[in-house]
Chain A
Amino acid sequence: EPEVTQTPSHQVTQMGQEVILRCVPISNHLYFYWYRQILGQKVEFLVSFYNNEISEKSEIFDDQFSVERPDGSNFTLKIRSTKLEDSAMYFCASNPSGLVYNEQFFGPGTRLTVL
């Protein structure tokens, strides 16, 4: 069964460093998302991506964040200068058509720890 994959599973970085989180969505899906979950809190929407551009972004997704789909298979989230408060689990998800009536398929997550 097709699945969304994410790498790495755990990333530890120093404050101020750049990190890139990688996702491989399901191949025939058209919409891609990043969500994050700070420990003990609810999952929050960061950004959605369609047709090689951002479809929507939340207020969390400031200039320190960027997304791209460099090669038609990977979907990456970059944090330019990490802060302590960026420590969280980051989930990638994909959706066949972007409609909310479709199931969203989540990756296993990347746990980011900023020291």
Chain B
Amino acid sequence: KNEVEQSPQNLTAQEGEFITINCSYSVGISALHWLQQHPGGGIVSLFMLSSGKKKHGRLIATINIQEKHSSLHITASHPRDSAVYICAVGGIESNFGNEKLTFGTGTRLTIIP
């Protein structure tokens, strides 16, 4: 069973700050997803990573497969970035091709104007 840990659990920052959210997992995977959950509860997929780095606008996600670790960065943070950010992993090493996701507990981000 894959354990997915995120840190920090809560993060409050001033508008414009550079944000880093971390995710570690215990078992080798095929892919890692970063998701965003807004206060209403809806979940939006931000990134899917299997190696290296991806960038969408002000969001950057990196993954180190050997260290079983990923980070999500937000540059020039804005109050509209306030949400819960969730790391989810799939394709556990012992059963590659397994399509279900195992979720972390989420990081609640609050950006103050």
Contact = CB atoms under 8 A, between A and B. Distances in A.
Interface of A: 31, 33, 35, 37, 41-45, 48, 55-56, 89, 91, 95, 98-106, 108-109, 111
A91 B43 contact: yes
A8 B44 CA distance: 19
A112 B31 CA distance: 30
Given A99-B97, A106-B43, A43 B30 contact: no
Give the contact-size bracket for chain B: 20 to 34
Which 7 interchain pairs have the tightest Cβ spacing? Answer: A100-B90, A100-B91, A106-B43, A100-B31, A43-B103, A98-B99, A108-B42
B41 A108 contact: yes
Contacts of B63: none
Contact of A42 (B41, B48, B90, B105): B105
Say whether chain A's binding surface is mostly helix, strand, loop, or mixed. strand
A60 B14 CA distance: 40
Interface string B92-113: 0000011111111110000000
A85 to B, nearest CB: 19
7 contacts: A33-B99, A91-B43, A99-B97, A100-B98, A102-B48, A104-B101, A109-B42
Given A43-B103, A95-B99, A103 B48 contact: yes
A89 B100 contact: no
Contacts of A45: 100-103
Contacts of B90: 100
